A and B are shown apart, each in its own frame.
Chain A
Amino acid sequence: MNQHPPDSQLALFVDGKLDESTSVDLAMHLDSCPACRQRAASMDPCTELCSRAEHIEPPPELMHRVLAGIASSSPSASTVHIHSVWLGLFFLLLASLMLFLWGDPTGLMAGALSGLGGLGVSLSALGRILPTEGLICMPIASLVPVLCFLALYVMQSNENGSIGARST
């Protein structure tokens, strides 16, 4: 139905006196035409009747009960974050221990790899909360241990070189 129905037809519609297919066509029109819907509402005694209904507000405890239900039923995202961060810190600690115990290139490499893993896990945990910034941080996290490894390796080489020079 493209045209707006006349008042007489709307009145018959509201009273349910039109045949089913015409009623359905008119209903489809009313769904897409707020002006005609308004006209039909003004002819419908139920509109006025229903406007007398009391105002109903949900009790405040409903919201609390629902939120408590959600919290108890879903695995907490924050728990996942905490686990990820602890795992990251564990890797970082492992990296520090390796660097401390084996200050040779192999140990440095292992330490750097552990450090990379640790930072990666920690920052991916961050990335789950702050996706965009987390993505920016991932390359930084990858670069930092590599740079540390290179710096330490160069220092180690210089030390060895100087020791070697002294011995000669």
Chain B
Amino acid sequence: MPVGSTALVQALHFFSAIPKEFPLAPFQVNASLDVQELLQEALRGDERAKALIVERYVKQVYRFCFRMLGNEEDAMDAAQETLLKLVRNLGNFDPSRRFSTWVFSIARNNCIDMFRKRSKQGSMPERDIKDEGPGPLDIAEKEQRATHLRAALESLSPRHREVLLLYHFEHLKYREIAEVLQQPMGTVMNRIFRARRDLRLAYDAIIREARS
């Protein structure tokens, strides 16, 4: 094929690759990119990359906020605030850190703000305890156990609850938890040991109360 024809074919290929809705839709980034690559694209102003970062962390962030705060409304507000802060401050991310620990740091700070707001207002919202309706025995028992665990977790102090959530529910490593909390490893270890002990005590107390 002559050089001119090749150039023409390439030019046609280029123009056919432009999205039909151009210029309203941004170029679609690949959803399989890792977080670092998505971060690069997002920092270049790619809205789709920002949406993909949010999509990737929305579950973890909501789950953490829900377990920290104990109700859907506050968890929604805290998770929304966390994800918006995340996207707005992508430029401030320190690449020497792990991205997920940075995300959890933001989520944790928002949960702490929410606790402060609650204490200022002097009101604690009702817990969203699921209705244990009739059903097969094992399902009811499983739900009951989950409800007791949730109550036990909520009886812990926020400091103890957060370390347990990060370790046992989000499966972060010890040094990552230390990074999220910005505390030395020794402090984190002490908190985890105390939190584990308190959780077991609280859970046993709730079980005893339920049985009596």
Chain A interface (Cβ within 8 Å of chain B)? Answer: 14-16, 20-21, 23-24, 27-28, 30-31, 44-47, 49-50, 52-54, 56-59, 61-63, 65-67, 69-71, 73-74, 76-78, 81-82, 85, 125-126, 129-130, 133, 136-137, 140
Contact = CB atoms under 8 A, between A and B. Distances in A.
Of A24, A66, A85, A133, chain B has the most CB atoms within 10 Å of the CB of: A66
B174 interface: yes
Contact of A54 (B22, B87, B146): B146
B189 A125 contact: no
Contacts of A63: 54-55, 58
Interface residues of B, number: 60
Nearest to B173: A31
Nearest to A85: B23
Contacts of B63: 56, 58
- Tell me if B's interface is mostly helix, strand, loop or mixed: helix
Contacts of A61: 76
A82 B23 contact: yes
A81 B196 contact: no
B189 A20 contact: yes
Given A20-B186, A77-B26, A77-B46, A49 B146 contact: no
B41 to A, nearest CB: 11
A45 B169 contact: no
B59 A57 contact: yes
B74 interface: no
A69 B80 contact: yes
A154 B99 CA distance: 61
Contact of B145 (A46, A52, A57, A140): A52
Given A59-B76, A70-B47, A73-B88, A16 B26 contact: no
B185 interface: yes
A147 B31 CA distance: 42
Contacts of B14: 130, 133, 136-137
B194 interface: yes
Contacts of B130: 54
Contacts of B22: 81, 129
A62 B63 CA distance: 12
B149 A130 contact: no
A77 B79 contact: no
A120 B141 CA distance: 69
B84 A69 contact: yes
A73 B203 contact: no
B72 A59 contact: yes
Contact of A126 (B18, B25, B46): B18
Contacts of A59: 72, 76
Contacts of B164: 46, 50
B76 to A, nearest CB: 6
A63 B57 CA distance: 10
B68 to A, nearest CB: 12
Contacts of A136: 10, 14
A23 to B, nearest CB: 5
B164 to A, nearest CB: 7
A28 B67 CA distance: 27
Contacts of B25: 78
Interface in B169-212: 169, 173-176, 185-186, 189-190, 192-194, 196-197, 199-200, 203
